[in-house]
Structure 1
Amino acid sequence: MARSTLLRALSFRTTPVTLLTLITYLSISFALLWVHLVPPNVASNAELAAWDIDLPQAWADLQEITKEYRPYNARRNDEVREYLLAQIQAILKRNKDRGYDGSVEVIDDLETNVLFPGEAKDGLTVYYEGTNIIVHVHGSNPELSPVLINAHYDSVSTGYGATDDGKAVVSVLQVINAFTSPKRAGDKQIKRGLIALLNNGEEDYLNGARAYAVHPIANRSHTFLNLEGAGAGGRATLFRSTDTEVTRFYKQSKRPFGMIISGDGFKRGLVKSQTDYKVFVENLGMRGLDVAFWQPRSRYHTEDDDVRHTSRESLWHMLGSSLETIEAMTSDTSKQFDREGENPAGTGSDAVWFDFLGRVFAVFKLHTLFALTITLIVVPFVVFAFTIYGLAAASKLYYFSNTPLHPAPPPNSSKPTTTRGWRGLFRFPVAFVVASGATIGLAYLLEKINPMIAYSHQLSVYAMFISAWWSLLWFVMRGADAIRPTALGRGYAFLEQWLFWWAVMIFVAITINVQKLGSGYFVMFIYAGITLSAWISLLELAALPKKQYPGTTALGNGYTSDHDGHSIIAPSDAPHDASDDDHDPDESTPLFRGRDRPRTFHGYTRTNIGTTPMHTPSPSPPPSITSESDIYPGEQPWSSHLPPYTWLLQHLLSLPIPTIFTGSIMLFVSSALSQTGADGSNMLTVYLSMAILSIIFLLPATPFFHRISHKLTIIIFAAFIITLIFNLRAFPFNRSDRLKVYFQQSWTLTPGDDQGKAATHLVAHPDFIEKIVRDYIPSARNQLITAAEDPVRKGLTRVTWPGIPPNPAPETKIGEVMQVEVVPRKELGVGMMGVKVTARESRACRIDVLGEGKVGNVTVARGGAEGVKWLGDPGGPVKQVRLWRRSWEVEDKWDVRMRVVEPENEGEGSKSETAGLKLKVTCLWSDANHVEFAIPALNEVMKFLPEWAVVSKLSDGLVEGEWVGEVPMGV
């Protein structure tokens, strides 16, 4: 009785399968959500003391620098810079007084000026005057190159920048503190030096990093750690890495977080924004890491990126990881990053990396992943071939068989006449196609009806996809099993899944070898679990008796064989009491039902066929045979020989580990993509990605679905109905996840005009922006409003109306706010043209060449500025020149000279004396700290937007003052 109870409790039946599957998915989902949403606790006081850092001071520094907006083009930027310099000096003085005896150099860089080209397709050249802060902590071994740690201290004009990039900045301050601690004095001084860079102007085309790239100290370091923020809280993730060797340093982090998928996203161009990592790698040839906060994106570049929306735990996750990574990098005494020759940083290998539940971090070479992938493609295929051959040779390959039973049951019997080994072959493919097709259809439906719902409810979208796929697949699998029961259903599903993932593995191998992408690493774990489970389904067949064929000879032990040695199974013609089959066994139930002969296989007995007399069976049945209750209702009688507990091993192999990897990718991808619709991204791509990942999340469990309780599926189906209705009808934004509305005001300045001509622009998702402007913005009421696709942010709509004129330079006449002087011809060479530009309360302007005209050979000079250094090649023809200066003085003018690029088939000097080009000079104002006076239109928008919307900057300038005129060439 005890054995029978245990058998039922753990065998492949409804209750144990349902409970174990439910517990597995619930526990894994909870663990993944916890890791995803909750940053680790702050370290103990003992650990903080061991690092000799001051976390409360770091938090106070973060509060100070995020009091106001601090873009490069705002006076608050200079105040923050002075504060950071003072904090650095205070840290170094305090540590020196406490006993640190190492050499530290502080570089207050107010001299580096850089001129560099943009992307070739942009036709852009940028002139920038740097204001970086550089701290060089010398190492004990001067032959080893120092390590660079970088953060940028500017913010965008509409964001306080607590995460982008305030937490990184205060982390760098504490890294300086930790590595100049008295605990690092004497022989405990770091081996490699440390260069801490706080750059300015990252938000404006990575200008600060480019200024650092032409500084003499830049060539000393070969490895780097860049700290960034593209979200507003949570954990900092390893966003991308140059190679395997440098990624291993991050492995020292106690709470690692990240996966190669983000790096591949940058590599494939799926992520449009850039970080200073780009400059360090492409311009300086360095090797390093990009660590960044990455969600929620709805707060990125908005006023919600403040201290209130972050936490000390989040700060510690970045700071703690940085300390541990820099410790590993500065302790490395190998020469792998200090080679001589053309590439002094050496050459690394492509890397694959991922964390496991935020605790364990794996990193290995992409080539290793390729080798493992090829091995897993070839070896299981060979093993399966030999296993199937062995089973077929032993006449135990019940799959794909329909062997007749001899002698056949009586005509009026309900007993099966064959092994029924084909039954269940098509169930999984049909169920998979039906469920997956419907789930993909839901993605299209969602994008059509309520495309932005994932912006604030990505978990409800996942719940809809998961519950839909579960319900439909269960219906097909369970329905087929009810109509045509089979003991081979689980095995067929595993074998067919193995073939599916085998094909996917081939695709993964191609992407690794051709495109150098490692994002398919998780497929390897799914495939491994499914492969082992499918192999177990084959090995189970070894426990079955040989299949039966007519014309056999006796083998003994109750089996017979034909002349080829195959065994047979014959139906019993012995009378029996039908009531024996109608109740569960108890203490009074005989071990063998019937009269004289022991029976197995639900009414079948071992017998001889042909001329050979019957061999008397042994008095005891095989150990695996207990009673007819071992056979699941309606399944083949021979299934009582199958081991009852192997499904537990298959469940363990195929579900937990693959589901953890898939689930972590689901959360990462949806958090990265679900709010990009506000930037103009196609939401169908987002929903298709979420739907496919939802399918993969459940796919390993499908071999068990036909044993899952209908009661659980009814609950899940009800969840599908609820989430479907919610996702189609719910409003997609709320106070925590606000829709980004991009602001800009253009301002045409005409001499003699008291106000200029202003136009206010709001850009956002086309389904909402016109309603926002018409229903919420007072100055747009009764005004002519135009709406058109935005020329910069594709997929979004730009709504324009006159708005309230700006006043960025109080007590200044409109005609004097910006000044443009055409350089006289006599000062120019042949084919040259020039303008001098300045503006009040602004240190950013740009020059656009209108029409078909193009210029080249751009040079920029300004007042007392030092010499300009080129970064990279000057590039091709220029359509735009961006200008940035460190001074606020209106007298410090940009003096820009350009050579006109002649049209094809026209030689130099072919233009007349009066020939020239039409230029548009635009100066930018970006200070939103006093918008009620300087930019009242922005103040109005911020005040009257609905609570579910928030302002972000459209471009570098919140206000863009424009001057248009023709500039002649010199002769």
Structure 2
Amino acid sequence: MSSDEDTTPIPGTSAHANKRTSLEGSGPAHHSHNEPNIFVRGFRGVFGYRKTTLTLLVIVTLIFGVLVCKYDNSLDYTVSFPTDKLEVQVLDSAWTDLQVIAKQEHTYGSKGNDVVYEYLDKRISSIIKSKKTYVELDHDNTDNNSSVMYSSVSGDRNTVTYYESNNLIVRVNGSDETLPALLLSAHYDSVPSSFGVTDDGMGVASLLGLLDYYCSKKAEQPKRTIIFNFNNNEEFGLYGATSFVKHPWFSQIGYFLNLEGTGAGGKAILFRGTDYGIAKYYSSVRFPYGTSIFQQGFNNHLIHSETDYKVYKEMGGLRGLDVAFYKPRDLYHTALDNIRNVDEKSLWHMLSTALDFTNTIVSGKIDLDEESFNKSSTDTAVYQSFLNFFVSFPVSQVVVFNIALLVVAPLINLLLLVIIFGYKKNWTLSFINVVKFPVSLFISMFALNFINDSFTIQVNKFLPNSSAFLILATYASTLFLFNYLIMNGVNQIFYRYKVVNHDEKLIVMIEIALAYWIVLIYSTTKLKKNKLGDDHSGELIVSILFLLQSLAIFFGLLSWVFKHNGDHVHTCGTDEGESEPLLGSQRSAPSYVRDDNSGFIETSSIDSRASSHKDSVVVKFLSYDWLLQFLIIVPISFVIFSDASFFIIDGVHKSLQESLVSEKFIYQVLQISAVALVIPFLPFVFKFNRLIVLVLVCMVIFGYTSIVFDKPFDEENPMKLRFIQSIDLNVSPTDSYVNVFGREKSGLEAVVKDLPSFKLSKQKSPLLCDSLGDGNEVCSFKSSLPPVLSSPNNNTFADDLKIDILKNSSSNKDHLFGLLTGEIRITVPENRMCHLSFNRSESKTKIVSGLDFPDTPVKTVIVYSENDNDTDKESRPALSSIPEGFSRDKAGNYLYKDLKGINDLQLLKLDWKKSYHIGFQWVPSVIDLSAKDTTLYKLGVNVECFWAELRPSKDIHHPVPAYEEVLHYSPSYVSWANKDRGLVVVSKYIDI
């Protein structure tokens, strides 16, 4: 085989002229005698390196790639409903459970949460009653001393949390007690603004379905114990999972499967796995769907949300998987996450995945149960699904494969290059042919980045929310067009300097492979030290792409190795080839010449510029290696890039509304994806014919016109705004303010100004909008629609949050260099969630005049039990004797001590009427004793309590009418989510 490329006319010798004259003068009889038969001509016409053939292949590849990608990611085509009678029954019951669970919002701080808890309690009890011999239910609540107190650090703030748990935990005891148990977990709370269908109603319904399956009459006792954790209050701190780590049953567990939702529908994806050893068992599920690209994004904190997976892995030290719904993000945590926007097949996909994985793990011993399991099983997993096939590898194996590929592939191809240039000497390179592709690619990428920054973002910056794939197609068409024009333009400009015996497509392939080689070196170096925050487990596609590119180069070089120096024909004019101008010139009729295999080929018609060279000839090689190279590189690479682009873009493009950082990231993803989709075609871009060029021009015109006129927000792709109503008792006990959060310049102000309460306000409160940084803003106005918190008869919010100072030792200046103590009681009827933040007055400690630094004075916090109301109780331990960390005294009080300092205290209780009795221990400032500022040794405490109740009652039409208003009067292109853990926050600041 040899390359079949165009060459330039070369001033002919007399021998060439004689040969040409001989051929031209052979007459009709000569043609009829030597013309190849119809089959040979047909084969060459179909498979020769012709523009028509290439055009057809390009079109077929594009259509095939897009359709395969859509099929792979389609819920309808890749997931089928069950046919097994028991599975059908389980799915029907689970769907009914989901409908009941998602009937109303049910965040931890709402009465709806209690309704869901009671339903689950009754439902679980009814399921397990037939299997009570080896199935048991534990009510993990305060009656069983399940309250926990623990510390967590976020940034520079140390937060201590007091949490009263009410998880529902079921244990299906296995027949082999020596096997570590499998944990199945999902949380049953939602956020205040959502019905929680996919986050996490489907996870809970799937757990109920699995429990129903293992407790059915046909089910046998599993060999491995299964523990179900229906946990609460995941949304604002992963509290339910954290408290379960302290549960006695937790010590039995070795593996886990967490079911979650960070989107609102579609297919449930394998987000991440703790290691290869457990991730490989995901291959047992019937509809596998996952990519370690998302795992890389999670582990590198590109996805700004967390799940209970984090607790089980990092706090519990378990091995397991995180399976979740991941799109669309603009419905996530809004009222649109409801039954109407999902279907039963989504539930079945998650349920069947959990069922298949569980069956595999609990059916008997697995290799992870052995102490001497293969070390590579602890490696990070590299995995990918495609058309319901799933493959996974440990990172160490990928590193070994990459190193071998990095060494072997270049060596083989370099050896062939040495043979070609050192021995065969039948391939000639020119400087122009070597540099034109890198220059073209650089210019086109630079131009695309300029268009992105100066046009798309400036004209319609939020458009990726609704039209991300339109932008991607437009950018890809732009790159195609730029590279076609630049590289063919270079060919025309340097037409007279084009060498004989060259291979433009092979040169481009080698240059692309060199770029892949460099990227693969970087990726492999990082993979070798793979870790959280610097994870590269999603980069297996680089290895595959480099392998494909190297293989195509090998066949191209091999064709030159076996090409004899005389294996060519000479003919007049130029071939129709890679250097043909976009607007072709007048050409003469084709002529036929004999090749070295005694057959005729059709030469290209004569270019008008070449016709002046009477003695010109061109070299025409006869080979079909281009077809093999195209089939190796283009279809597979395009499908790989299309699938990866779909995963990433479909998963993150809605998060453009979250921050400026997310916006920049998504535009970068769009540009990188466009380059990646175009790269496989660029070795052949020289031969794009007018049809492809015309289509590209039309797509570019249509794309950029759409960017100007398309709307970024519509009913299917809404603008996501966040709501909270605030009351500051230090400012006014009666006034409340509506606060709306969203992206700057998104149209937020227009939405708020159209609210009736704002337009009809008698006081006509101004709308105040402030930038929050990172591209976000908050708009606030004084509301005429006060919320109803504890009682509909209250005319003031002072009764909804009362703080009584029970002990205030800071008034004693003799304790200036000792530990100061104080106690307060917080009374918040009909409330479950409060947050305390500690600071000095003015939040600073003054050491000398003009020098301030932040201070964290609180070293101990105490949550007193209900039975301990006597502030002078003698049985209390001396605070100086309290050990660091969490402890409980004889009276049942919860204590947490941290000498590094405590910034915040979270208080989460189940009893709606219970007040909080809190104690503090803090260190006074070391100051200039002559200073008279008494605030320097006072402790400032800011108390915020959150209400999230949305259920109307007999006396209350709607407890948060301002929120009801934004839901009712907002345009159809707006969706609403809560800003914080509640819809209303009441705050008060005190000094102790």
TM-score range, shorter chain: 0.7 to 0.9
CA separation in 2, counterparts of 1:906 and 1:924?
40
Partner of 2:109: 73
Contact 1:744 / 1:760 at 8 angstroms: preserved in 2? Answer: yes
Partner of 2:834: 845
CA separation in 2, counterparts of 1:789 and 1:894?
35
| Secondary structure at 1:297 match in 2 | coil
Contact 2:864 / 2:894 at 8 angstroms: preserved in 1? Answer: no
Partner of 1:613: none
Partner of 1:832: 821
CA separation in 1, counterparts of 2:750 and 2:721?
12
1:789 aligns with one of 771, 787, 792: 771
| Secondary structure at 1:251 match in 2 | helix
Is 1:230 matched with 2:256?
Answer: no
1:107, distance to aligned residue in structure 2 (A): 0.6
Partner of 2:25: none
Letter in 2 for 1:379: V
Partner of 2:789: 808
| Secondary structure at 1:441 match in 2 | helix
Partner of 2:465: 455
Partner of 2:853: none
Partner of 2:167: 132
Is 1:23 matched with 2:4?
Answer: no
CA separation in 1, counterparts of 2:118 and 2:371?
38
1:304, distance to aligned residue in structure 2 (A): 0.3
Is 1:820 matched with 2:803?
Answer: yes
Letter in 2 for 1:732: P
CA offset digits 1:5-46 (Å, max 9, x no partner): 210111110111111111111111012123324345664553
Range moving further from structure 2, 463-472 or 132-141:
463-472
Letter in 2 for 1:28: G
| Secondary structure at 2:911 match in 1 | coil
1:685, distance to aligned residue in structure 2 (A): 2.2
Contact 1:65 / 1:166 at 8 angstroms: preserved in 2? Answer: yes
Partner of 1:143: 178
Letter in 2 for 1:56: D
CA separation in 2, counterparts of 1:870 and 1:428?
69
Partner of 1:860: 863
Contact 2:376 / 2:394 at 8 angstroms: preserved in 1? Answer: no
1:861, distance to aligned residue in structure 2 (A): 2.4
1:628-639 pair list within 5 angstroms: 628-629=601-602, 639=619
Partner of 1:425: 434
Contact 1:543 / 1:641 at 8 angstroms: preserved in 2? Answer: no
Partner of 1:693: 673
Partner of 2:959: 934
CA offset digits 1:920-941 (Å, max 9, x no partner): 2221101123385311111111
CA separation in 2, counterparts of 1:903 and 1:191?
61
CA separation in 1, counterparts of 2:202 and 2:935?
57
Letter in 2 for 1:796: N
Is 1:360 matched with 2:349?
Answer: no
CA offset digits 1:303-338 (Å, max 9, x no partner): 000010001111111111111111122135146247
Partner of 1:925: 947
Is 1:117 matched with 2:151?
Answer: yes
CA separation in 2, counterparts of 1:870 and 1:143?
35
CA separation in 2, counterparts of 1:24 and 1:841?
62
CA separation in 2, counterparts of 1:249 and 1:662?
26
Instruction: State the Cα RMSD in Å.
Output: 3.1
Partner of 2:909: 885
Partner of 1:541: 560
| Secondary structure at 1:336 match in 2 | helix
1:965–1:252 CA distance, 2 compared to 1 (3 A): same
1:226, distance to aligned residue in structure 2 (A): 0.4
CA separation in 2, counterparts of 1:632 and 1:276?
69
1:508 aligns with one of 523, 528, 539: 523
| Secondary structure at 1:809 match in 2 | coil
2:778 aligns with one of 788, 794, 798: 798
Structure showing greater relative contact order (alpha-carbon pairs closer than 8 Å, 6 or more residues apart): 2
Partner of 1:283: 315
CA separation in 2, counterparts of 1:40 and 1:463?
24
Contact 1:40 / 1:317 at 8 angstroms: preserved in 2? Answer: no
Is 1:57 matched with 2:93?
Answer: yes
Contact 1:41 / 1:313 at 8 angstroms: preserved in 2? Answer: no
Contact 1:232 / 1:299 at 8 angstroms: preserved in 2? Answer: yes
1:874–1:64 CA distance, 2 compared to 1 (3 A): farther
Letter in 1 for 2:238: L
Structure 1: gaps (5+ residues): 401-420, 547-558, 560-566, 573-580, 593-599, 601-621
CA offset digits 1:932-963 (Å, max 9, x no partner): 53111111111111211111100012111112
User: How high is the TM-score relative to the length of structure 1?
Assistant: 0.84
1:435–1:626 CA distance, 2 compared to 1 (3 A): farther
1:389–1:819 CA distance, 2 compared to 1 (3 A): same
Partner of 2:379: 349
CA offset digits 1:76-126 (Å, max 9, x no partner): 101111101111122223xx2xxx585011011113101111225222111
1:598-637 pair list within 5 angstroms: 622-623=596-597, 626-629=599-602
Partner of 2:206: 171
1:906–1:27 CA distance, 2 compared to 1 (3 A): farther
Contact 2:859 / 2:897 at 8 angstroms: preserved in 1? Answer: no
Is 1:153 matched with 2:188?
Answer: yes
CA separation in 1, counterparts of 2:541 and 2:735?
57
Contact 2:190 / 2:235 at 8 angstroms: preserved in 1? Answer: yes
Partner of 2:969: 944
Partner of 2:979: 954
Partner of 2:428: 399
User: How high is the TM-score relative to the length of structure 2?
Assistant: 0.82
| Secondary structure at 2:250 match in 1 | helix
Partner of 1:5: 42
Contact 1:116 / 1:871 at 8 angstroms: preserved in 2? Answer: no
CA offset digits 1:25-79 (Å, max 9, x no partner): 11110121233243456645533x2547421221111111111100000001011
Partner of 1:38: 75
1:497 aligns with one of 512, 519, 526: 512
CA separation in 2, counterparts of 1:802 and 1:225?
46
CA separation in 2, counterparts of 1:325 and 1:149?
11
1:698–1:113 CA distance, 2 compared to 1 (3 A): same
Letter in 2 for 1:385: L
1:214-613 pair list within 5 angstroms: 214-334=246-366, 336-337=368-369, 339=371, 348-357=378-387, 359-400=388-429, 424-444=433-453, 445-481=455-491, 484=495, 488-514=503-529, 515-546=534-565, 583-584=589-590, 592=594
1:637, distance to aligned residue in structure 2 (A): 6.3
CA separation in 2, counterparts of 1:320 and 1:875?
49
CA offset digits 1:825-876 (Å, max 9, x no partner): 4899951122111212211112122323531221212426998798999583
| Secondary structure at 1:298 match in 2 | coil
CA offset digits 1:853-900 (Å, max 9, x no partner): 5312212124269987989995831222110101112xx221111211
CA separation in 2, counterparts of 1:334 and 1:870?
41
Range moving further from structure 2, 68-77 or 507-516:
507-516
1:441–1:807 CA distance, 2 compared to 1 (3 A): same
Between the two proteins, the alignment pairs up a number of residues equal to: 865
CA separation in 1, counterparts of 2:506 and 2:984?
67
Letter in 1 for 2:600: S
Structure 2: gaps (5+ residues): 1-36, 573-586, 611-615, 813-817, 845-855, 869-887
Partner of 1:180: 215
| Secondary structure at 1:198 match in 2 | strand
1:139, distance to aligned residue in structure 2 (A): 0.7
CA separation in 2, counterparts of 1:384 and 1:41?
40
CA separation in 2, counterparts of 1:175 and 1:632?
71
Partner of 2:136: 105
